[in-house]
Chain A
Amino acid sequence: MKTNLPILRFQPIDFQRLVKIGLWIMTMITLLVLFFIIIFVVSKGIRVVNSEFLFGLPERMGKEGGILPTIIGTIYLTVLAIIIATPLGVGSAIYLTEYTKENIFTKIIRFGADCLAGIPSIIFGLFGFILFVIKFGLGWSIISGGLTLAFMILPTIIRTSEEAIRAVPLSYREVSTALGGSKWQTISQVVLPNAVPGILTGVILSIGRCIAETACVIFTAGSSLRIPTSLFDSSRTMAVHFYILTREGISMERAYGTAVILIISIILVNFLAYWIMYRFIRRKGGHGG
């Protein structure tokens, strides 16, 4: 039969167009949702954001005044968690990829890390509360919270670092060994520098999670509204502040104001990280990124 049914017969080029439109729509939906959330939060909270809100002390449990202590608390906890988790995570990743052969032991470790990554943060919070706050007697403090957050993000850092290290071509290692480089020289001079962009990705993800975390922190760092002066002081993060302001109906407006700052800081961290990564790749001309 030679009768053509042009409407029903899809040419590859038509199909290609259809797929392109479909993918475009999906991307737009994602972006729309994202923008909707941001616009929603900003429109509700932007009115209270001013220098007094940013740098002032809270009054009447946050109903009035600023959020400075929660900004400081967020920074302290995040920085502490990253400082603890990054060396541990990268170290474990180096050990797993470079110093062990693939066997049942490494498979168990990797499986364990994956399981750990899926555990709800409130469980980590409870664990941190029992271990650090009670057992070690550290109380509700930045140190307890930082340690707990570090454990929460550790699996992410291990797995992303592992992938980054694995992605460094074997030929780079061979060049270094053939030139008389020891294993550690090869790792520190060739493998790690080339894995930095990938490792950083994991660290950025983790920073975002730390900044946004509530359940984990509220059990371990407490919710004091004073400006912390030592690692053993209790502190409140922006996310916890938001939670308490809404949960206890203290001030919706100030809650959204806090959320605006929270979102802006996460965006800033991401920009900063990509900028660092971009500069790093340009300088090295590596494969990474």
Chain B
Amino acid sequence: MAVKIRVENYSFYFGAKPVLKNINLAINAKEIFSIIGPAHSGKTTLLRSINRMNDGAENSRRQGLIYLDGRDIHTFEKDVLRRRVGMIFATPVSLPGTIFNNVAYGPKLKGIKSRGKLRELVEKSLRAAYLWDEVKDRLSDLALRLSGGQQQRLCIARALAVEPEVLMMDEPCSGLDPISMAKIETALRQLKNEYTIILVTNNTKQAARIADWIAFFLSGELIELGTPEMLFTKPKDKRTDDYIAGRIG
């Protein structure tokens, strides 16, 4: 299995405070790599380091390296890197405007102008995000009229439309009802065939259901890394056990 992203001795500081402490991990291509852990354990900071959204954050400092396909991410142009590594945020943010224009936003930034090509990309992305059937007759409706779960799938479609290789999701199901969550999980299982997925989640059960690998983070440290079976049945570290059993976090 090819390694898509490798994180080597990576630390990140805000001021003097370490938010990530010497992280080492490898993420395989076309798998779901889930990161679990309580609030303030550095999960989001790691995601934002991988697509360099933390670059230039005030008073911050990093150590160590992150590789995409064996190449240091800091040797990429930011926009090139971010097109290869898409990101979906915890709260679905649809930009003001129509459903169509939301999905077409990324491709337009890349300079794709042809209406036909855009239409094709929009349909393909909406289908992949399991939203097409619900919106195909009202692509010119305002995106803000969609429900929360639909908006989150719209955000996934929007990220897919730039044709990335890696999809990072920061708690994409927080605040969604179980049915919306199930739809997103179905989408993720399908997307795994084409994309590498990094899924940050507060929901350990969700990680158990769909992840190939799970990394448990606590206070900026990678405590344990393994398959769901390993972490859920025989965790090596007591803290992992405590977290999964709901005793901490």
Q: Which residues of A contact B (CB under 8 A)?
A: 101, 169, 171-172, 174-182, 185, 189-190, 193-194, 284-287
Contacts and interface: CB of A to CB of B under 8 A. Distances in A.
Interface in B113-168: 142-145, 155, 158-159, 162
A197 to B, nearest CB: 11
B211 to A, nearest CB: 22
Nearest to A282: B142
Q: Which 8 A-B pairs have the closest CB atoms?
A: A286-B96, A285-B142, A179-B106, A180-B83, A178-B87, A180-B79, A180-B82, A171-B93
Interface string B77-88: 011101100110
Contact of B143 (A169, A190, A285): A285
B51 A284 contact: no
Q: Is the interface of B mostly helix, strand, loop or mixed?
A: helix
Interface residues of B, number: 29
B240 to A, nearest CB: 30
Nearest to B168: A178
Contact of B105 (A189, A284, A285, A287): A189
Given A185-B109, A189-B105, A189-B109, A179 B93 contact: no
A174 B93 CA distance: 10
Contacts of B109: 176, 179-182, 185, 189
A172 B95 contact: yes
Nearest to B145: A285
Chain B CB count within 10 A is highest, among A177, A180, A190, A287, for A180
Interface string B53-92: 1000010000000000000000000111011001101010
B79 A194 contact: no
27 contacts: A171-B89, A171-B93, A172-B93, A175-B95, A175-B158, A176-B109, A178-B53, A178-B82, A178-B86, A179-B86, A179-B105, A179-B106, A179-B109, A179-B162, A180-B80, A180-B82, A180-B106, A180-B109, A181-B79, A181-B106, A182-B109, A189-B105, A189-B108, A194-B96, A285-B143, A285-B144, A287-B96
A155 to B, nearest CB: 28
A180 B89 contact: no
